[in-house]
Amino acid sequence: MKKIIYLMVVLGVTLTGCNPMEDIYNDIDATVDPIVGDAVITLSDEDYDELELNFGNFNSVDDAKSMLPSFLSDKYPVWGAGSTALVTFKWYNPIETYEAAVYELSDAEHNAITGTTYGNFDESGHIYDYLDATYPNPEEGDFVSLRYRFYNGGEMTLTDGFAFENGSWVKFTGFTEDQYNAMGEGFPNFSSEDEANQKIPIALLDVYKFNPKSAGDIVLSMYELYVGGGVTESYTAAYIFDGEAFSAYNNVAEETVQFGHDGTTWVPDNTIKYTFTSADVDFISNALMATYPGPADNVGFFGSFDRRESSSNYWSDAMLLEAFNLLLDNKHPSAEEGQKYVLTYIIYNGSTTNETKSVIKTGGVWVYQ
| Confidence at residue 319, expressed as pLDDT on a 0 to 100 scale | 97
What lies within 8 Å, CB to CB, of 147 at 6+ separation is 102, 103, 104, 105, 157, 158, 159
| Confidence at residue 76, expressed as pLDDT on a 0 to 100 scale | 96
| Confidence at residue 216, expressed as pLDDT on a 0 to 100 scale | 85
| Confidence at residue 32, expressed as pLDDT on a 0 to 100 scale | 59
Structural Rg of the chain based on CA atoms: 32
Size of the chain, expressed as the number of residues it contains: 369
Terminal Cα distance for the chain, rounded? 66
Predicted confidence pLDDT, tens digits, the chain (369 residues): 333 333 333 334 443 444 544 454 444 444 457 899 999 999 999 999 999 999 999 999 999 999 999 999 999 999 998 899 999 999 999 988 999 999 999 999 999 999 999 999 999 999 999 999 999 999 999 999 999 999 999 999 999 999 999 889 999 999 999 999 999 999 999 988 889 989 999 999 999 999 888 888 889 899 999 888 888 899 999 999 999 999 999 999 888 888 989 899 998 887 888 899 999 999 999 999 999 999 999 999 999 999 999 999 999 999 999 999 999 999 889 888 888 898 999 999 999 999 999 999 999 999 998
Let me know: does 189 contact 227? Beta carbons within 8 Å: no
- Partners of 87 in the β-ladder: 41, 257
- Give the containing element (helix H, strand E) for 329: helix 317-331
What's the predicted TM-score (pTM) here?
Answer: 0.61
Closest CA to 189 of 244, 142, 234: 234
Give the CA distances from residue 335 to residues 272, 322, 341, in Å, rounded to whole numbers and listed in that order: 11, 17, 11
Q: Burial letters for 255-288: b for 16+ Cβ neighbours within 10 Å, e otherwise?
A: bebbbbbeeeebebbebebbebeeebbebbbeeb
| Confidence at residue 66, expressed as pLDDT on a 0 to 100 scale | 94
Burial of residue 186 (number of CB atoms within 10 Å: 0-12, 13-18, 19+): exposed
| Confidence at residue 17, expressed as pLDDT on a 0 to 100 scale | 45
What lies within 8 Å, CB to CB, of 197 at 6+ separation is 237, 248
Closest CA to 148 of 112, 97, 98: 112
What is the rounded distance in angstroms from the CA atom of residue 145 to the CA atom of residue 126?
15
| Confidence at residue 166, expressed as pLDDT on a 0 to 100 scale | 86
Within its chain, how far is the Cα of 340 from the centroid?
16
